[in-house]
């Protein structure tokens, strides 16, 4: 059972607040994309290109000033960038073939994908409480879908099967991208990650634009009505990509994607207050359910961290009591080495010993 007395920690509030700010950024990109589509602009890769260029310029300048070698191999960043570019392309493309309600339901596929990938590759362990939080969040999203299905204005799309396939494929690639970023940002540098993601993302996007979107770009009638949504999209995406590594390092990729489920709910509030549209009451119940699910998932982190730190300290003390072994096992696949003095290292190098 969740101990709500220990949930509202500073770390919990920061994680929830940052997650909802990212969700609002995603909502703004959705409205920018809708405005571009309304004006007949259909170039998903071109929309993302400016974001990658900004990442490369801003964070690349910082990385160059630091004058440090890359902590990860360059081809890891190339593969991550390729996956990220194609994930953006597939999800935006899906809107051309299937309904928004179908994409909303299929977007939740990213949650079990992320949990599986973090469990397999990052050795993340999930408690029953976290699974309960995920189930509540996904159930709330399905409530929104059912509300839209009940709406008589729902459009079926020109090719639902094709669109659903694009949405599933894009969500799967997003899961791979998020987990890869989580690993790289926790083992390396956020500035390095953003620089290389921007550089290779821009390079891959430029190649894809030259092959797939040349005709679309030539047919665009450029005006302030077309430029402003594109600038807004690029700015929101730049902020989103800049802040995602912080939440990944702070809370993990599962928490990130659970937070982004509320983007559809934020879109509802914008429809109400900005466009004065009426929405189903189920949306408000779903929004509250997602909030509860996030709190249940993220709550209790302080207790788990304290237990983990205590276990680590006990293992370190046990290691120090047996110095002849040179190292003590903290857990499967991880070790802690006892630091050696400069004299010890010089003696070992002189005798040719390998540590």
Report yes or no: 47 and 211 within 8 Å, Cβ to Cβ. no
- Cα separation of 348 and 355, whole Å? 8
**pLDDT computed for residue 158 by the predictor:** 66
Per the model's pLDDT, the better-predicted residue between 310 and 230 turns out to be 230
Per the model's pLDDT, the better-predicted residue between 234 and 287 turns out to be 234
**pLDDT computed for residue 246 by the predictor:** 85
Of 285, 298, 263, 286, the C-alpha closest to 141 is 286
Q: Which residues contact 270 (CB under 8 A, 6 or more apart)?
A: 27, 31
**pLDDT computed for residue 66 by the predictor:** 87
Q: What is the mean pLDDT of the chain?
A: 74
- Cα separation of 339 and 155, whole Å? 65
- Cα separation of 314 and 139, whole Å? 41
**pLDDT computed for residue 236 by the predictor:** 92
- Give the pLDDT band of residue 111 (cuts 50, 70, 90): confident
**pLDDT computed for residue 159 by the predictor:** 72
- Give the pLDDT band of residue 100 (cuts 50, 70, 90): low
The answer for 189, left when phi > 0, alpha when psi is -120 to 50, beta otherwise, is beta
**pLDDT computed for residue 302 by the predictor:** 45
State mean pLDDT over 23-33.
Answer: 82
**pLDDT computed for residue 210 by the predictor:** 93
State mean pLDDT over 39-68.
Answer: 89
Give bridge partners of residue 335 from the DSSP assignment. 329
Least confident of 105-119, 213-227, 262-276: 262-276
Ramachandran angles phi, psi of 334, nearest 5°: -135, 140
pLDDT over threshold 90, residue 86: yes
Q: Give whichever of 29-43, 141-155, 191-205 has the largest mean pLDDT.
A: 191-205
pLDDT over threshold 80, residue 208: yes
pLDDT over threshold 50, residue 324: no
State mean pLDDT over 86-100.
Answer: 78
**pLDDT computed for residue 242 by the predictor:** 92
Per the model's pLDDT, the better-predicted residue between 199 and 139 turns out to be 199
State the Cα angle at 139 between 136 and 143, rounded to 5°.
Answer: 135
**pLDDT computed for residue 330 by the predictor:** 31
Per the model's pLDDT, the better-predicted residue between 243 and 312 turns out to be 243
State mean pLDDT over 337-345.
Answer: 43
Q: What is the model's pTM?
A: 0.69
pLDDT over threshold 50, residue 322: no
- Cα separation of 18 and 244, whole Å? 9
């Amino acid at each position: 059972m969740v101990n709500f007395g220990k949930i509202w920690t500073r770390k919990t509030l920061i994680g929830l607040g940052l997650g909802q700010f990212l969700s609002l950024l995603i909502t703004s990109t959705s409205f920018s994309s809708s405005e571009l589509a309304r004006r007949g602009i259909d170039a998903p890769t071109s929309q993302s290109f400016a974001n990658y260029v900004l990442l490369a310029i801003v964070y690349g300048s910082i990385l160059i000033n630091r004058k440090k070698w890359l902590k990860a191999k360059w081809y890891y960043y190339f593969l991550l960038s390729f996956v990220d570019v194609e994930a953006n392309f597939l999800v935006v493309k899906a809107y051309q073939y299937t309904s928004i309600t179908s994409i909303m339901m299929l977007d939740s596929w990213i949650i079990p994908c992320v949990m599986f990938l973090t469990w397999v590759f990052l050795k993340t362990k999930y408690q029953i409480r976290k699974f309960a939080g995920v189930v509540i969040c996904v159930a709330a999203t399905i409530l929104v879908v059912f509300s839209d299905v009940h709406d008589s204005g729902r459009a079926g799309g020109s090719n639902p099967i094709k669109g659903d396939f694009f949405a599933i494929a894009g969500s799967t690639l997003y899961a791979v991208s998020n987990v890869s970023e989580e690993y790289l940002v926790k083992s390396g540098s956020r500035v390095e990650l953003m620089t290389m993601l921007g550089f290779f993302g821009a390079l891959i996007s430029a190649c894809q634009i030259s092959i797939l979107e040349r005709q679309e770009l030539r047919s665009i009638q450029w005006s302030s009505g077309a430029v402003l949504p594109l600038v807004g999209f690029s700015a929101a995406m730049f902020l989103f990509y800049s802040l995602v590594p912080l939440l990944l390092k702070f809370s993990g990729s599962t928490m990130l994607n659970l937070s982004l489920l509320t983007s559809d709910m934020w879109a509802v509030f914008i429809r109400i207050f900005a466009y004065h549209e009426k929405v189903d009451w189920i949306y408000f119940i779903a929004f509250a359910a997602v909030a509860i699910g996030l709190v249940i998932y993220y709550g209790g982190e302080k207790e788990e961290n304290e237990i983990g730190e205590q276990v680590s300290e006990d293992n370190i003390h046990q290691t120090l009591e047996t110095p002849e072994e040179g190292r003590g096992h903290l857990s499967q696949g991880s070790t802690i080495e006892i630091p050696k003095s400069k004299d010890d290292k010089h003696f070992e190098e002189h005798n040719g010993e390998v540590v």
